[in-house]
Structure 1
């Protein structure tokens, strides 16, 4: 799309410079720390799987067993790779699973090796982790091969549809039918509360609440099912899940190992809406985004959520600020623009005069600020009242805004959003709504030219100006302080509070992590 808003390049450049300055202290903080989740993700790359099923309080993943024991016995300040692979060699185990079983039985005493022992442990760790990286690389190549063979959807935006039964087998049925009905991206919603679990459940699951647990086996089952339906419908159907919460790095690794195509990964969502410790979140998201970059996974950020708690007009500039910060953090972690699915939403109160024009201004601003990013456009939720007819109409306006402003990924809005978990019939009607708009107005953006000095252009300039002003304040006060003051989504989250804070570890001078080295090309 040609530039319609005539944004001042110097203002845009200033906004990006300020976002980089605001993000620099947070990146430095992330580089200086590790977390239990980063160390668990490292061992998952090295091949550890399975769980201790004999534990009386329930299954405990072997990776948690090893990490917790290493931390208790010698700390994680030097990373898990050195003590774990030193113990593997010292006890002559052949796999990390054997090491974990012996750990659970109290047969292993972990220490941080030095000298030649450290060199040997580091070499063994690098070899094992590199094998996991090669699996991720093969999956990326396989995705490219399938897209070349089967083809991408013939139109943009891609149609993104949610399944959320709680049972992976039922999800497979719904996902297949959704793809046949026109969905291009299937998002498997996670079970309620999984983001606050400090472990990843093991195996296939059939008992989630308002969603299905994100596990490696569930990823494998759904990816295989969508590969089958992709061949049937003649286009590559993409799979989405959530690399967020306390296990963000691990789930990113599992997504790479099982060829997921998109993952929800926002730099601040877990802080604001799940009350996860800010430092834990920034450390975890940097590692997870490095994994996404290696795997070629498109991330979806969560700016749409700000507008469910704050007013969509008054807080519009906070969305732009968050998008700029997400862009900076993504680029720093190695994610290029084609993998940067920045989020925004159609959440202005429809009773506000010119609400649709305001939505167009905000959506067009995002499109022109990030021309190469596959933007994810989210449907109305906050002002869905239970009037299904009005809701269906509102979703139609949302779809039209997506077409007019060239959005990349369109999450299908449901007319029963405010009433129940949508039925299959509701999803079918929602898809019909999308298909109608795409068919009737698919190329309308070629003719869409807002008046140069009109309402839409002026509003977009106003929001960008307010975003620059806010970024200047954040640079002066610090991003962590801005979060603590409720700048984003009205949520106040102090840097020392939140869940998972005890899982943050400051790195020692001798910290080594071959996974980070490989991801950063060292």
Structure 2
């Protein structure tokens, strides 16, 4: 039961405005493709591996993924306006290569030739591409079913919120024992942070990696290894342990596909994070995020959005309504892509200056507003970072208050706060103390969500309604502009960061689709979504 009673007319108005504001983004995504979307199609069809680049003495100096080689070759020879599927499977039908891998090797040798087929040849290419991609989606579907079987067999954590802990040493073989130790200490969700800068790579590294900086590279093999390790510890503990990574940056669609193929359970996937905080081109991001979210919907993956990041650059009180607006827009775009309420880990954070009077009451108001607006979503509640000073005793206290706010307001996913935030990368002992903090609060006060109901007209109730009213006013301004959300991002509405649609990294990878364009993955995912 929600502790706040929001005006249903105002809530309906907010959602109506969010749909209007988001429509230009949906139209943009439907009319374009990107190099990463097309590479994701090839990954679903089973193309893996890398093309080794050798130096003067025959030593391997680099490795380029085959999906990059093929998409780049198609683009160079015929363009990507029709997508990659028609030219690739037309080339296969011509008999020059036995399979997709052999065709990729011809590309590496410089002997592959592509053209966009028409008539009966185009129909044959469509059929072959659809069959190949359907096999990949069948594997995604099987992983979705397997997750449900394991949850039914092992069981879910006995309480909410789920405890979410970050592990990332840079070395996947060091991450695994740390992740298993964290699960034994009470973590329900293990998040493996990506290596610094991976979001700006326009390719996905290959294989098990041991050299990440401040994080571990997101690769298919790293996903497979960590998934197997968490399955082992889950069987030991008698509960399913979830795995999270990041589907953001320039390879959002591809990483979403790899997550589906390796049974990840949650993915960081925000409509605007890469635009605002990595200066990735808005058009590139909006096209990529729609495809990636369709994959997540099909795979049964919970997305985590990044509204908490706005409050690291903007004031958490003055700009609270922008978080609510972003949550409503993320909800709209996610549902358009086929995600359901239970998959919407919408983000918000405990980032109000603790020296501000009534800061905890304000935090409760903001958290309750999110809970009331999205009653069926597993909201992701983020700990304090901006105002952590290096005083670990003060930090531990703030994390305790954060945990209490999560318990009182019924959050779904609670990221473990570290008292050493902004000081050092946490040691295992730091994580252990942080988990003890969470466990104590949830064991001692977890049931208070049933009792905590701020009085109508009181401080918390008034503050929540103020933020909602300000959010509706902002949505009205955004929806009234012909470019909607695209213009709002350019104007610096979120995180006080301006990002115009014709600037930023990755714009050269965006292509407007031609009338004859064909993407078998989109066709199959949209068809399945229509049946649901």
Q: Confirm or deny: 8 A CA contact 2:208 2:222 kept in the other structure.
A: yes
Matched, 1:495 2:494: no
Question: Which structure 2 residues correspond to residues 152-163 of structure 1 after superposition, within 5 A?
Answer: 152-163=156-167
Aligned to 1:342, which of 322, 340, 346? 346
Matched, 1:510 2:510: no
Aligned to 2:295, which of 284, 291, 294? 291
**TM-fit CA distance, 1:278:** 0.3
Task: Name the CA distance, whole Å, in 2 between partners of 1:120 and 1:480.
Answer: 38
Alignment: residue pair count:
521
**TM-fit CA distance, 1:92:** 4.0
Matched residue of 1:11: which SS? helix
**TM-fit CA distance, 1:203:** 0.5
Give the unaligned 5+ runs of structure 2.
56-60
**TM-fit CA distance, 1:122:** 0.9
Computed over aligned residues only, the root mean square deviation of the Cα atoms, in angstroms, reads 0.8
Task: Name the CA distance, whole Å, in 2 between partners of 1:202 and 1:299.
Answer: 24
Question: Which structure 2 residues correspond to residues 106-255 of structure 1 after superposition, within 5 A?
Answer: 106-255=110-259
Task: Name the CA distance, whole Å, in 1 between partners of 2:54 and 2:222.
Answer: 23
Q: Deviations over 1:331-361 (max 9, x none)?
A: 0000000001100000000000000000000
Deviation above 4 Å: which 4+ runs of structure 1? none
Task: Name the CA distance, whole Å, in 1 between partners of 2:446 and 2:273.
Answer: 32
Matched, 1:29 2:22: no
Residue 406 of structure 2 is matched in structure 1 by 402
Give the unaligned 5+ runs of structure 1.
none
Q: Deviations over 1:431-479 (max 9, x none)?
A: 0000000111010111112121110000000000000000001012322
Task: Name the CA distance, whole Å, in 2 between partners of 1:68 and 1:466.
Answer: 46
Question: Which structure 2 residues correspond to residues 400-479 of structure 1 after superposition, within 5 A?
Answer: 400-477=404-481, 478-479=484-485
**TM-fit CA distance, 1:55:** 4.7
Q: Deviations over 1:497-520 (max 9, x none)?
A: 000000000000000011000010
Task: Name the CA distance, whole Å, in 2 between partners of 1:251 and 1:55.
Answer: 27
Task: State the TM-score, normalized to the length of structure 1.
Answer: 0.99
**TM-fit CA distance, 1:115:** 1.4
Aligned to 1:257, which of 257, 261, 267? 261
**TM-fit CA distance, 1:91:** 3.2
Q: Deviations over 1:284-303 (max 9, x none)?
A: 00000000000000000000
Residue 312 of structure 1 is matched in structure 2 by 316
Task: Name the CA distance, whole Å, in 1 between partners of 2:321 and 2:239.
Answer: 37
**TM-fit CA distance, 1:54:** 3.0
Matched residue of 1:344: which SS? strand
Q: Deviations over 1:124-148 (max 9, x none)?
A: 1001000000000000000000000
Aligned to 1:390, which of 394, 417, 433? 394
Task: Name the CA distance, whole Å, in 2 between partners of 1:449 and 1:12.
Answer: 20
Residue 365 of structure 1 is matched in structure 2 by 369
Q: Confirm or deny: 8 A CA contact 2:2 2:375 kept in the other structure.
A: no
Q: Which region of structure 1 is more displaced relative to structure 2, 468-477 or 503-512?
A: 468-477
Task: Name the CA distance, whole Å, in 1 between partners of 2:53 and 2:22.
Answer: 45
Matched residue of 2:122: which SS? helix
**TM-fit CA distance, 1:493:** 0.3
Matched residue of 1:306: which SS? helix
Task: Name the CA distance, whole Å, in 1 between partners of 2:321 and 2:100.
Answer: 48
Q: Deviations over 1:41-92 (max 9, x none)?
A: 0010000000001355510000000000000000000000000111112134
Task: Name the CA distance, whole Å, in 1 between partners of 2:409 and 2:98.
Answer: 56
**TM-fit CA distance, 1:283:** 0.4
Q: Deviations over 1:290-320 (max 9, x none)?
A: 0000000000000000000000000100000
Task: Name the CA distance, whole Å, in 2 between partners of 1:23 and 1:144.
Answer: 32
Matched, 1:99 2:103: yes
Task: Name the CA distance, whole Å, in 2 between partners of 1:21 and 1:446.
Answer: 36
Task: State the TM-score, normalized to the length of structure 2.
Answer: 0.97
Residue 521 of structure 1 is matched in structure 2 by 527
**TM-fit CA distance, 1:94:** 2.7
Task: Name the CA distance, whole Å, in 1 between partners of 2:224 and 2:98.
Answer: 25
